[in-house]
């Protein structure tokens, strides 16, 4: 069962709602990941920006610094080729530089090649599952000891309706998102009573992003909400003052920018 996200927009959060929080966001170079990073930093978080696009990361870094937000950290990494050792090294560097981690947002995604399963290209299948499912497992596994040291840690998996309900021709993308939901529920079920780690997933719905345009090239996107608008709705999930249901499968109710 999924439920709409019953959360206030970030505009209603205190300006310091994420003060002192160390937040790692994958897919931070563009789209929802970048929007969420900007908002988290604006509310006091130290954001760790992870993406393969170094140039875009550097531009976002400069934007956050110019705004006077807490100094972010850059971590350029291609999840497609990253090994378990690479993820372990990332966790070690986070512990050395920041002393721990308070939130992990799995925002990176690769669309793959929309096609019927009977004709799906095997190479595209492997690459898409590596980025969308294997990498979140490896990164979460590496970061769990850091998150366990937080007073109130959050692991947020960005999901999709295609993974929750099934969708023809979405191939490895839909299968990976379904696996991501299973990963989330398993991880949530494994947390002992009193664990500081809360795990949930959220389907942000259609967003006006490059990924959406590549998935639905003939779609009119003018009425879709921007990444900034959806990030406002998601941001409270990272704030310790916001109660989050362990294993919750949230969704963002259809919305628009309202003008």
- For residue 159, the domain's CATH number is 3.40.50.720
Q: What is the pTM of this model?
A: 0.91
Domain-located, residue 98 = yes
Domain-located, residue 219 = yes
| Catalytic choice (61, 120, 173, 250) | 173
Domain-located, residue 129 = yes
If you average pLDDT over residues 78-91, what whole number do you get? 97
Which neighbouring-strand residues pair with 75?
Answer: 50
50 closest CA partner among 42, 60, 40, 64? 60
What domain count does the chain have? Answer: 1
pLDDT at residue 209 tops 80: no
Is 61 one of the annotated active-site residues of the chain?
no
Domain extent, residue 107, equals 3-251
CB 230 within 8 A of CB 35: yes
If you average pLDDT over residues 25-34, what whole number do you get? 96
Tell me what pLDDT residue 224 has.
74
pLDDT at residue 29 tops 60: yes
Q: In angstroms, rounded to a whole number, what is the distance separating the alpha carbons of residues 22 and 227?
A: 22
Domain-located, residue 209 = yes
pLDDT at residue 51 tops 80: yes
Tell me what pLDDT residue 258 has.
44
Domain-located, residue 259 = no
pLDDT at residue 214 tops 70: no
Alpha-carbon distance values, 64 to 28, 38, 97, 171, 175 (Å) = 13, 7, 18, 37, 35
């Amino acid at each position: 069962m999924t439920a709409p996200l019953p959360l206030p927009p970030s505009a209603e959060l205190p300006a310091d709602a994420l003060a002192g929080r160390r937040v790692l966001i994958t897919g931070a170079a563009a789209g929802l990941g970048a929007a969420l990073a900007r908002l988290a930093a604006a509310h006091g978080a130290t954001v760790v920006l992870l993406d393969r696009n170094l140039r875009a990361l550097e531009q976002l870094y400069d934007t956050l610094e110019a705004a006077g937000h807490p100094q972010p950290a850059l971590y350029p990494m291609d999840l497609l080729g990253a090994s378990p050792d690479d993820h372990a090294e990332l966790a070690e560097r986070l512990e050395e530089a920041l002393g721990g981690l308070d939130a992990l947002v799995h925002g990176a995604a690769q669309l793959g090649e929309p096609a019927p399963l009977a004709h799906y290209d095997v190479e595209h299948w492997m690459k898409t599952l590596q980025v969308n499912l294997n990498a979140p497992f490896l990164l979460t596994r590496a970061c769990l000891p850091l998150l366990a040291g937080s007073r109130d840690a959050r692991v947020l998996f960005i999901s999709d309706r295609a993974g929750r309900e099934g969708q023809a021709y979405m191939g490895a993308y839909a299968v990976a998102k379904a696996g991501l939901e299973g990963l989330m529920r398993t991880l949530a079920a494994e947390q002992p009573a009193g664990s500081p780690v809360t795990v949930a997933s959220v389907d942000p719905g259609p967003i006006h992003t490059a990924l959406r345009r590549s998935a639905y090239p003939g779609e009119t996107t003018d009425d879709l909400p921007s990444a900034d608008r959806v990030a406002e709705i998601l941001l409270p999930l990272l704030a310790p003052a916001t109660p989050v249901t362990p294993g919750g499968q949230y969704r963002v109710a259809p919305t628009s920018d309202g003008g």
